[in-house]
């Protein structure tokens, strides 16, 4: 490798652990600490019923229990953020709101970052039998990291969606791979929790990854229009592109962590 993997991984981890944005306030939902609301989000939610703010905290649904009433407050909050232009688009996708352990409700996906809520991302690190790595280049229309290289498959688990099912869904959408194509796949495992400042807010995300060897004749193909290019590259080329900043931070962490595991085990190819 052109770059020592532990050193590269350490630098990536530093980038993945940033404090909350300046002016962000601790977010409580139904009385439980859940995230970090940006200053803009706090302003946008002023006057929304069942939302209270002071100089240090934002409280949504204080006194409410998980259920329909709290979800209605979360929906109104997301719409208020939308009207105030605090969101990057509107996905019409619901994600779970938790305090890290306890499920509290659901909210529009685009509202997660302005509120600093925890998300769970699933990735597939896919290899060819001869040891090349399948990678995907994000569409220029993506709201986050357009045009950057990524793992072959990566996406967020939806509301109530088991993580393994989320990965299978993403494999189909992003790479045209279905369950029979993924027989040689490891179970998902968590590698770290990211805390990163973004223009729209704060990314708090558990990154999970699975490793797979695809059949020699496999040709991944994007189905959802969110990928502009798919390629199989040598590990050294992947490391060089990561060092050059061509990969998303999440993909870089997943790939380098996998390469370190292979190096430590002495494996020439993924298990």
| DSSP per position, 112-164 | TTTTT-EEEEEEEEEE-TTS-EEEEEEPTT-SSSTT-EEESEEEE--TT--HH
In this predicted structure, the answer to whether residue 269 has a pLDDT above a threshold of 60 is no
pLDDT at 267: 67
Q: Which run of H or of E encompasses 237?
A: helix 235-243
pLDDT at 271: 39
Report the alpha-carbon distance of residue 178 to residue 185 in Å, rounded.
12
In this predicted structure, the answer to whether residue 2 has a pLDDT above a threshold of 60 is no
Note the pLDDT tens digit of each residue in 30-48: 999 999 999 999 999 999 9
225 band by pLDDT with thresholds 50, 70 and 90: confident
Q: What mean pLDDT is predicted for residues 159-187?
A: 95
pLDDT at 268: 54
Q: Which residues contact 204 (CB under 8 A, 6 or more apart)?
A: 35, 36, 116, 117, 118, 119, 193, 194, 195
Q: What percent of the chain lies above the pLDDT cut of 70?
A: 97
Note the pLDDT tens digit of each residue in 50-97: 999 998 999 999 999 999 999 999 999 999 999 999 998 899 999 999
Least confident residue range of 164-168, 220-224, 246-250: 220-224
As a whole number, the mean pLDDT across the chain is 94
pLDDT at 224: 87
The closest of 53, 42, 51, 61 to 114, measured between CA atoms, is 42
The token duo for 248 is 């998303």
In this predicted structure, the answer to whether residue 237 has a pLDDT above a threshold of 60 is yes
Query: To 10 degrees, the CA torsion angle through 175, 177, 181, 184?
Result: 50
In this predicted structure, the answer to whether residue 264 has a pLDDT above a threshold of 90 is no
The token duo for 14 is 């530093």
Q: What mean pLDDT is predicted for residues 1-8?
A: 78
pLDDT at 3: 62
The rounded radius of gyration (Å) of the Cα atoms in the chain is 19
Note the pLDDT tens digit of each residue in 108-147: 999 999 999 999 999 999 999 999 999 999 999 887 889 9
Q: What mean pLDDT is predicted for residues 19-26?
A: 96
In this predicted structure, the answer to whether residue 228 has a pLDDT above a threshold of 70 is yes
Taking a C-beta distance cutoff of 8 angstroms, is the pair 97, 106 a contact? yes
The closest of 268, 150, 128, 148 to 209, measured between CA atoms, is 150
Q: Is the pTM of this model over 0.85?
A: yes
């Amino acid at each position: 490798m052109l770059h020592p993997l532990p050193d590269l991984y350490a630098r990536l981890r530093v980038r993945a652990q940033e404090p909350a944005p300046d002016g962000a306030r601790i977010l409580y939902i139904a009385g439980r600490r859940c995230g970090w609301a940006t200053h803009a989000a706090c302003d946008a939610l002023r006057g929304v019923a069942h939302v209270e703010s002071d100089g240090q905290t934002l409280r949504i649904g204080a006194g409410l229990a998980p259920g329909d009433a709290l979800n209605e407050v979360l929906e109104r909050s997301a719409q208020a953020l939308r009207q105030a232009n605090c969101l990057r688009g509107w996905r019409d996708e619901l994600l779970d709101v938790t305090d890290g352990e306890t499920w509290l409700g659901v909210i529009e996906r685009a509202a997660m970052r302005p509120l600093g809520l925890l998300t769970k991302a699933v990735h597939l690190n896919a290899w060819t039998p001869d040891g090349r790595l399948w990678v995907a280049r994000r569409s220029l229309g993506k709201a986050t990291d357009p045009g950057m290289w990524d793992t072959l498959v990566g996406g967020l688990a939806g509301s109530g969606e088991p993580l393994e099912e989320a990965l299978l869904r993403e494999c189909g959408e992003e790479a045209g791979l279905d369950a029979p194509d993924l027989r040689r796949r490891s179970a998902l495992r968590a590698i770290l929790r990211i805390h990163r400042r973004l223009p729209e807010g704060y990314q708090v995300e558990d990154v999970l990854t699975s490793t797979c060897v695809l059949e020699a004749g496999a040709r991944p193909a994007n189905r959802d229009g969110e990928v502009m290019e798919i390629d199989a590259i040598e590990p050294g080329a992947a490391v060089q592109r990561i060092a050059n900043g061509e990969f998303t931070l999440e993909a870089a962490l997943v790939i380098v962590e996998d390469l370190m595991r292979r190096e430590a085990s002495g494996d020439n190819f993924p298990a």
